[in-house]
A and B are shown apart, each in its own frame.
Chain A
């Protein structure tokens, strides 16, 4: 509990930044892997293969730092009593568990099915969905951390559009906001599936 004034905040900032940075990298790499044609060479490197590798590598790093960020956040910065009573920190822990779970599932899918998963639309969709979910969860987490520290975040405009109060319980104030979110995510899924039905994204054999 005394950690907040004994560098707890610093440790949490470092670990959380590495977690979120890795998570965003995973998200970007997974989406790129979806769109890059297999065998596409960029400066002598197979971009498709590299993207797939980055997803795995980034996920391992993100998971490691996510656990560290949780430890430093709950026990070194806020204290368990505060974390479990303040809505803002409860939001953070909730989204952290979403992100961690998505990372774990992503790695399990990759471990179970190997690089061949990119050949199957269903597995690919699930795999990329996990990458997207953990990336969004990490982004939300970082944004809430910025709000907690009065720093503001790049997601401020998003919160304003969605009319979400970050110090509150992340309550979606209207069904319209929920519908908007649903449409956005459904749209992303539709794009992913649509892309999967075309040739390019399905022909790679390695990840």
Chain B
């Protein structure tokens, strides 16, 4: 006698109902558990911990699944308590001679400190360096930067900075960064650039594979130097304005750079130098107690972010003197690892003014509309430019920044950002239109990714025909980017989820058939 035959009709109904309820509920819980197991490791509290956890917990998983994303390059803004998107605004004014950009962007703390030398155990130890995600103790300066293109750089009008953002940029950008040894073996980098790392470059600077967009860092050799020079002369490069809260900001200057084969500094001298003598292992400069009242900052103040923005926190002519090794240095004394100097040449074209208040930076940058320098883009009326912005906060460098989609800028023509003419030497910002944009964390959505088959919009990128904003919102693209970064973790439960769902469906049907009375 079967079980069904042993049970009375009423008991069979109850059994059927209970079975269905248990089946459906169990299926849902199994599915949920499978999905929950894919939750990313993330923490709202900053430390290197969450990043290390991701590496330790998932590196094997990645190998199993064969994903190409390296987990030791992963950190997302939520790990240090920041959102995936932030609002920013820009104003542009000109007086016929000079042009001004005034940006506002949020930063939870004024990142005016870069790397530092800390007196520990009788030695000066370096603290702070470019690293994955937010640098320990936030010892990496805040920055605001933008690229200007006059229509000569392929891919920029549609993809913005994505055209200069490649997976093989210097470590720790992504998994594909070449080593110093590899870079040194490239004849262009070894003999022409004399560099051992890779930085932003535009696709046209490389010898492409099957098509113009199919490029990599090593698609260039010494014999391409004339071609690069020709492109530069034709104006095929991005003009980069680069405000640094530590390395220039305090002196009222902004870095002036350009991107073609590399992220190059303009001709001349930068506003900063390294404050460390490798031979003596000592700083070169220190705070001048006679001018500032201190010889060094204190480590506990750095940790507590107890920095007086109106006081001495940077080394420059008005705050420093030559380092005195015989000074009575105390454990925990801190000296900036960079000192500021007066920039020269085309590198000194951009002056700046900045202030941090209530969680927001306001940065003004000013430059001659036409510097006459070959490494700058001249701003002329009746012309439309492409422009895209980025900023760094919370001790981040490298790719851990917020970027915007590309926008148009014009002084007289219809554009996303409209320059306002004024007479005089200082714009009245209250009368200058303010354009507000959403900046987003781009993850590892590099040029190589967005032109690959894994990116559904790749045909448009390859054809240089549509902007990323035609398919994505900023919020969506940042979530997709994070999803790609964490897909190993998030998708780990996919097979189980899939099978559980399918089994659940079949199970319900089979239960119904087995329990039938007719």
List residues of A whose CB falls within 8 A of some B CB: 1-2, 4-5, 77-79, 81-82, 85-90, 94, 97-98, 101-102, 105, 109, 113, 116, 119-127, 129-130, 133, 147, 150, 165, 167-173, 175, 177-178, 181-182, 185-186, 189-190, 193, 197
Contacts and interface: CB of A to CB of B under 8 A. Distances in A.
Interface string B443-487: 000000000111111111001010000011100100110011001
Contacts of A5: 459-460, 463, 465
A119 to B, nearest CB: 6
B24 A182 contact: yes
B472 A150 contact: yes
Contact of B20 (A98, A113, A193): A193
B415 interface: no
B498 A97 contact: yes
B35 A170 contact: yes
A12 to B, nearest CB: 11
16 contacts: A4-B457, A87-B490, A98-B502, A105-B509, A113-B516, A113-B518, A122-B516, A123-B518, A126-B511, A130-B509, A167-B476, A167-B479, A169-B494, A173-B39, A178-B36, A193-B20
Contacts of A82: 453-456
B361 to A, nearest CB: 29
Interface string B252-280: 00000000000000000000000000000
Contacts of B501: 94, 97-98
A167 B512 contact: no
B490 A129 contact: no
B461 to A, nearest CB: 11
Nearest to B469: A150
Best-surrounded residue of B21, B28, B36, B490 (most CB of chain A within 10 A)? B28
Nearest to A1: B453
B459 A116 contact: no
B32 A172 contact: yes
B480 A186 contact: no
B25 interface: yes
Contacts of B36: 171-173, 175, 178
A87 B512 contact: no
Contacts of B35: 169-172
A177 B472 CA distance: 28
Contacts of A147: 476
Contacts of A109: 509, 512-513
B480 A86 contact: yes
B456 A185 contact: no
B28 A165 contact: no
Contacts of B483: 86-88, 167-169
Given A94-B498, A122-B512, A171-B39, A2 B459 contact: yes
Interface string B497-515: 1100110011011011111
Best-surrounded residue of A97, A123, A165 (most CB of chain B within 10 A)? A123
Contact of A85 (B457, B473, B484): B484
B242 to A, nearest CB: 32
Given A94-B501, A169-B35, A101 B473 contact: no
A115 to B, nearest CB: 12
A4 B463 CA distance: 13
Contacts of B459: 1-2, 4-5
Given A90-B491, A94-B498, A169-B35, A150 B471 contact: yes
Contact of A130 (B20, B472, B508): B508
A178 B24 CA distance: 12
Given A85-B454, A182-B28, A150 B473 contact: yes
B512 A127 contact: yes
Contacts of A165: 479
Given A4-B459, A87-B490, A171-B35, A122 B505 contact: no
A88 B506 CA distance: 25
Best-surrounded residue of B506, B509, B517 (most CB of chain A within 10 A)? B509
Contacts of A81: 452-454
Given A5-B460, A186-B21, A125 B512 contact: yes
B16 interface: yes
Contacts of A182: 24-25, 28-29
Given A94-B498, A98-B505, A123-B516, A167 B480 contact: yes
A178 B512 contact: no
Contacts of A169: 35, 38, 483, 490-491, 493-494
A78 B459 CA distance: 11
Contact of B456 (A4, A167, A190): A4
A125 B518 contact: no
B227 interface: no
A94 B497 contact: yes
Contacts of B383: none
Contacts of B491: 87, 90, 169
Contacts of B514: 122
A126 B32 CA distance: 22
A174 to B, nearest CB: 8
Nearest to B17: A193
Interface in B17-71: 17, 20-21, 24-25, 28-29, 32-33, 35-36, 38-39
A88 B472 CA distance: 13
B13 interface: yes
Nearest to A186: B21
A127 B513 CA distance: 10
